[in-house]
Structure 1
Amino acid sequence: MPQYIIDAHTHIFPRKIAAKAASSIGEFYSLDMQFDGMTHELLEEGDRCGVALFLVCSVATKAEQVSSINDFVASKVNLHPDRLIGLGALHPEMEDPYAEIERIIALGLRGIKLHSDFQCFDINDERMMPVYRRLAERGLPVLFHTGDARYDYSRPEKLARVARAVPELTCIGAHFGGYQRWEEAAQTLCLPNVYVDCSSSLFALGREEALALIDRFGPDKIFFGTDFPMWDCAAELDRLYALRLPQETLDKIFWQNFCRLFSVPVSRLEDYYRAHPQPR
C-alpha cells in the first residue's frame, strides 16, 4: 500500500450540467461513465478509497466558456482548499488568452488543461506556441489530453514537438502520453519536461505493456489518475496494485512526484490521513 494517494486527473462539472456533460463524454468514447462528475461525488470517492488530494479541471469546448469554467473550478477549490488543486481552461480561439492566464493565476489555479480532440486543434498549432511560452514564463504546467486512434489533433508526437520547442514548459501527457497510441508515446515523449499520468489506460493495457511504459518513462515522471467521472477509483487502484510494483515506485506514482511538481507540502497529506485513518 502507498503511504499516501493523490489523484492527478479528475474532471468536475456544475450540478445543473453534470449528468449531461458526463453522458456526452461517455458517448464520445463509447464508455459507460461511473459518475456524473459532481464535486461531492469525487470527495466521497476519495474518502472511500483513501485519496487525500485531487487535481481537478474542466475543458472549454467553446471560447466563450473559458471564463465561467475557470470561475467554477476556482470556486470549488476555495470551498475545499484542503482537498482540491485546480487547473484552468483555455481555448485556441479565445481573443485574449494572456489576460485569462493572469486571471487564472489570480484565481489560485495551478496550471492548464487542454483537450485538443474536444477543442479541435492540433497540440502544436502555431496559434498556441506563444501561449505555451507565456505559460512557461508564468510557471503553469499544462495537462494535455493525448492520443486517440480516431484523431490526429492529440498525437503524442505533436506534444513532443511542443515540448522540444518550449523546453521551459512543464507538459503532462495524459493516458501514459497517448491513449491508444502508447507505442508512439513511448517513442516520442521521453523528454526532460514531459510527465505522464496513467489515467484511462490500465483498463486497456496488459500487465507487460503497462510495466514497459512505466520503465520507459521512469517512475519519477508518472502520476496516478482516475479520469473521474469515467472510472471507479477502487477499480483503478486495483489495476495499479495488480502490476505488483515495488513500494518505492508506488509512492512516487501515487504522491511523491505530484508533491514535487506542484510544491505540495507533505503536511497537507498528513493532515488528511490524521483525520481519516486508513486501514493498512
Structure 2
Amino acid sequence: MSQQIIIDAHTHIFPRKIAPKATQSIGQFYGLDMNADGMAHVLLEQGDENGIAMFLICSVATRAEQVRAINDFVAQKVRMHPDRFVGLGALHPDMEDPFGEIERIIELGLRGIKLHPDFQLFDIDDARMLPVYRYLAQKGLPVLFHTGDARYDYSRPKKLARVARAVPDLKCIAAHFGGFQRWGESYKTMALPNVWVDTSSSLYALKKEQALALIERFGEDKVLFGTDFPMWEYPQELQRFYDLRLGPATCDKIFYQNFLALFDIPLKTAKAAVPR
C-alpha cells in the first residue's frame, strides 16, 4: 500500500528573531494557546513526524513597509526547501506600487498571494484593491484570503463573493471553509466557480455534519487540507479530518490532488517530497 500524500495548504512561518513574539501575538488575537513557534524548521520537523509532504507557506504584512522583507524571507525558505515549500507573497493595501511588487514576487518564484483583511484593516471588496486583483488574475496568481472572523466586517464571506464575481478569472482561496465563525454566510454566498476553500481553523469548531455539508456545497474538487500552523497541531487536525469518514478518492483530492491542480505542480514532485 502506497503512503498517503498530504499537503498542508495553509501554514505561517516567521524569521527566528520574531517568531516567538509573532506566534504569541496570533495566539492573543484568537484567544488560543500556541504550542509551537512558527519557524520553518519546526514546521518541517512536525510535518515529517506526521507524514506531510509539502507546505504552502506565507506570512502577513501588517504594515506596508514590511512587504519586501517578508517576500524576501519566504522566497529564501522556498529556495532552501524547493521540494517541500510552495511560497505565497505578501501585499498590503497601503503600499505604493503593488504592481511592481507583484512582478518581483513572480521573479522570486512565489506562487500566489496571502491577504488577511482583519490584520491589515481593509475590506476584501475595497474598490482600490480591484485593479490589484485584476492584475493578479492576469498573472495567474491565486490569492489566499483569511475570511469570516465574526468580530470584524473586513473579511466577511459575502465581500469575497463580490470580488470573485467582479474578477471571475481570479483564483480565490477562502481560508477556514470560507468563513471562520461565519460558516453559514460562507455556505450561502461563496460556492462560486473561482473559489476554493481550505479546512484550516474550522474542524475544531464544526460538527461533522456541518463540515460535510460545506464540502458538498463547495465540491470535493474545491477543498484543500490546511492546518493554519502554528495555531494547531498535526495529530489533532489530521484526526479531525479522518473523523469525517470521507472516501479514499475524496481524501486524495482534498489532501493533495486539488492543491497540485490549483498550483500546477506535477504529481511526481509531491511523491518525491513524501517523508520516508
TM-score computed with the length of structure 2 as normaliser: 0.98
Counterpart of 1:237?
238
Q: Is the Cα contact below 8 Å between 1:199 and 1:225 reproduced in 2?
A: yes
Residues 45-99 of structure 1: per-residue CA shift (max 9 Å, x gap) = 1110000000000000000000000000000000000100000000000000000
The Cα shift of 1:238 comes to 0.4
Please tell me the residue identity of whatever aligns with 1:189: M
The residue that corresponds to 2:154 in the other structure is: 153
1:36 — aligned with what? 37
> Aligned partners of 1:56 and 1:253: how far apart in 2?
17
**CA apart distance, 1:3:** 2.7
Which whole-Å deviations, capped at 9, do the CAs of 1:238-273 have from their partners, x for residues lacking one? Answer: 000001011111000000000111111111122123
Matched residue count: 275
Number of the residue aligned with 1:66: 67
Q: Provide the identity percentage.
A: 69
On the 8 A contact 1:141/1:170 being kept in 2, the answer is yes
Change in Cα spacing, 1:2 to 1:123, as seen in structure 2 (3 Å) is farther
Assess if the C-alpha contact under 8 Å between 1:214 and 1:222 holds in 2: yes
The root-mean-square deviation of aligned C-alpha atoms, in Å, is 1.0
Cα deviation for residue 165 of structure 1 reads 0.1
Asked if 2 retains the 8 angstrom alpha-carbon contact of 1:62 and 1:91, the reply is: yes
What secondary structure does 2:79 align onto? helix
Aligned 8 A contact 1:2 1:254 in 2: no
Question: Residue 162 of structure 1 corresponds to which residue in structure 2?
Answer: 163
Q: Distance in 2 between matches of 1:271 and 1:172?
A: 25
Q: In the alignment, which residue of structure 2 is the partner of 1:9?
A: 10
Matches within 5 A, 1:163-182: 163-182=164-183
Q: What residue number does 1:25 align with?
A: 26
User: For residue 129 of structure 2, what is the amino acid of its counterpart?
Assistant: M
Q: In the alignment, does 2:198 pair up with 1:185? A: no
Cα distance between partner residues in 1 of 2:271 and 2:155: 37
- Pair 10,179 (structure 1): closer, same or farther in 2 beyond 3 Å: same
Deviation sequence 1:159-205 (CA, Å, 0-9, x none): 00000000010000000001000010010000000000000000001
Residues 8-66 of structure 1 deviation map (CA, whole Å, 9 limit, x = unaligned):
00000000000000000000000111211000000001110000000000000000000
Deviating above 6 A after TM superposition, structure 1's stretches of 4 or more consecutive aligned residues are none
Aligned equivalents of 1:34, 1:115: Cα separation in 2? 22
Q: Distance in 2 between matches of 1:195 and 1:56?
A: 17
Offset, 1:215: 0.9
Match of 1:110 in 2: 111
Deviations 1:97-132 (A, max 9, x none): 000000000000000000000000000001100000
Conservation of the 8 A alpha-carbon contact between 1:2 and 1:247: no
CA positional deviation for 1:2: 7.2
Letter in 1 for 2:207: G
Instruction: Provide structure 1 residue ranges, at least 5 long, that are not aligned to the other structure.
Output: none
Which moved further from structure 2: 142-151 or 263-272? 263-272
Separation of aligned partners in 1, 2:137 and 2:160: 15
Distance 1:4 1:30 in 2: 32
Contact 1:157 1:189 in 2 (8 A): yes
Mapped to 2, the partners of 1:259 and 1:2 lie a distance apart of 17
Secondary structure of the residue aligned to 1:196 is strand
